[in-house]
Amino acid sequence: MAVTASTPVELVEEVYGRLAQRAEVARRRLGRPVTLAEKILFNHLADPEGQPLERGHSYSELYPDRVAMQDATAQMALLQFMTAGLPRVAVPATVHCDHLIQAHDGARVDLLAAVETNQEVYEFLRTVSERYGIGFWRPGSGIIHQVVLEQYAFPGGMMIGTDSHTPNAGGLAMVAIGVGGADAVDVMVGGAFGVRWPELIGVHLNGSMSGWTSPKDVILKVADVLTVKGGTGAIVEYFGPGTASISTTGKATICNMGAEIGATTSLFPYDDHGDSYLRATDRAAIADAAAALLGDLRADDDVVVDPERCFDRVIEIDLSTLEPHINGPHSPDYAHKVSEVGEHARAEGWPLQISSALIGSCTNSSYEDITRTASIARQAADAGLRVKTPLLVTPGSERVRATIERDGLLADLEAIGATVLANACGPCIGQWKRDDVKEGDVNVIVNSYNRNFPKRNDGLASTLAFVTSPETVMAYALAGTLEFNPLTDTVDGVRLEAPVGQTLPARGFESGTEGFVAPPGDGSDTEVVIDPSSERLQLLQPFPAWDGEDYVGLPVLMKAQGKCTTDHISAAGKWLRYRGHLENISGNLFLGAVNAFTGETGSGRCPVHSAVEPYPDAARHCREAGVAWVAVGDENYGEGSSREHAAMEPRFMNGRVVFARSFPRLYDTNLKKQGMLALTFADPSTYDEIREDDTISILGLADLAPDRPVQCRISHADGSTVDFECTHTMSAEHIEWFRAGSALNLIRQKYQPAS
């Protein structure tokens, strides 16, 4: 099947051809009506009749319809794929260049600078895509998740993507899951994607939104209810009459930010909004195919009548009474109503003045988002108002950018002082060069992004980031202070009316295929060149296989205090340039982790030299000396992005085990893929027993088995010991990954057998 700028209808028809039958299998095996998520999962199972169905425990094997990769994660994913020896990817796949463009001067200048700075990486991605039959989207085409929604997502489909916000496609009734690069390799070589059979959380929506309330407020409220780990191991499915009042791109906003509650994915039922969106984005053939089986592209009617029978948990939200929210700082689940955030800021001692306001990102850059925001900008311009803080706007795709420029919306935003950035992630992922503040300057920013951990947006721990809707960001930009309540207050005596918008452009979208490069039918003659002296790209060497011995007396390199996300373990920002060079990017290992023994950030005792060193230096010294080590985390250790570098770097630096009170799904999987042990304290208080100069032994590894606890021992410097037990989530397959040294080593053995 030819690789094109959209999903071929033939692929969609193949999926739809078995959907009704597989849904019936699900009903029969489960003995009840089934949710949309269950229909899609059963339709993609390797063994729908034999698949064990214990939620949160049984492992399932699924065959996704396609794979998507962004430029930062694609480098490592494709470096891994190259080692398999296949001539071409086995499923449709695309690469999207969106992460490496730094925001500073504006769209045109920033894009030119990115192309020049990243030429080596872009050329690698272009040629490796050509070589292996992968669709390639040039820099400036747009953010991966927006392009996928516009071009590739389809109701009832399943995809994986090497970015945690892949669930964006759930807005179009697709099961879309963020994964690490090694998972993508499994699928690209024709294998199955393995994940625990998910729990199901149902969010029942009633009523409809009005005024300042937007789809973003739905997920901000859900994050308040579930917290950053409440969705771990679960699919969140939205249902009920309220879903019909939300546009497809509004649904995508909600699903996108489901990553912040740890959910495997989120999705909505297919409806008339989805039909209109498909037709508006030149996919009428897919809309026609979906129209023929509407009943199978939503939950069974009886699920809506009796949701407690089908879901593990049901959350009720009345959209008619939902107030606008703003969440932050430091965590996307720290929720405030906009009517209360000023009071909370004063109580906490946060600055009230806003230093920057930012609109866009993969979460909120749709045509509807921009029209609602522009309606406020026009009010302000008519009243002679301009923004009181710098306002940066990031269109999500070239299709949206060209359309909002044609319709005069960009001019509306620029008229009140906005700067339009390139169609890229930019400040959402730390690709923001700020000149107005420096580290230590405590300042507040408001944005319509998805994630707001310290250093996430600008690399500064002293920046306090708040997440809200685009229209609320616009109101704050005009007011300049967190004390402003757009529902009741005025800006210089001007009362802002509630925003209004259009879900889809009346004149249609501009073309959405600029920037797409289709691979040739046969790319076997294409040379993928990696300069051996490159600082940005490095061929991978296999990690060593397990030697069959217990891990005895491993020192503790790092014990993290409190929240430790993938951003803390492997920072983004300036480090993005090394995403294709494992050795160089390992120079950021644990730089953001807070040392539980000292309270300092980014440094600890070196097991080799017994001196305090930056964590990357201490880890490198362990690697050079052949000293294996362990790391220790707290609750939900490794939450955040799909960043497999946060698992590859510890492995590369000779780490063997990570202990924690709990892990999110994605980081747990990434560690397993790289041959590391991810062990959870059976008694969470064991975390408190571990001292800086301890060593830890992991015993009985020869008997490692699914559902069997692992016995471990702490040896203190005074000669005393503490025995403790850990649990794990390894299947028999995962244990084989551990024994082989990594999942990739097994793939190499399969496709490149020894002669």
Catalytic residues: 98-99, 163, 451, 641, 643
Residue 340, Cβ density class (10 Å: 0-12 exposed, 13-18 middle, ≥19 buried):
middle
> In 3-state terms, what secondary structure has residue 397?
strand
DSSP state of 308: G
C-alpha dist (Å) from residue 507 to 284, 364, 510, 511? 16, 21, 9, 12
Query: Angle CA(708)–CA(710)–CA(711) in degrees, nearest 5?
Result: 135
Which element (helix H / strand E) includes 661?
A: none
Query: Is there a contact between 581 and 536 (Cβ–Cβ < 8 Å)?
Result: yes
Q: Which residues of 438-463 are buried (b: 16+ CB within 10 A; e: fewer)?
A: eeeeebbbbbbbbbbbbbbbbbbeeb
Q: How far apart are CA 286 and CA 283, in angstroms?
A: 5
DSSP state of 504: S
Q: How far apart are CA 642 and CA 423, in angstroms?
A: 21
Query: Is there a contact between 398 and 372 (Cβ–Cβ < 8 Å)?
Result: no
Query: Is there a contact between 412 and 374 (Cβ–Cβ < 8 Å)?
Result: yes
Tell whether the torsion through CA atoms of 285, 290, 172 and 405 is positive or negative. Answer: positive
DSSP state of 580: B
Those residues whose C-beta lies under 8 Å from the C-beta of residue 51, and which sit 6 or more positions away, are 45, 58, 60, 61, 197
Tell whether the torsion through CA atoms of 170, 173, 174 and 177 is positive or negative. Answer: positive
Sheet holding 335-337, edge to edge: 335-337, 325-327, 463-467, 443-447, 354-360, 391-394, 418-420
Q: What is the rounded radius of gyration, in angstroms, for the C-alpha atoms of the chain?
A: 25
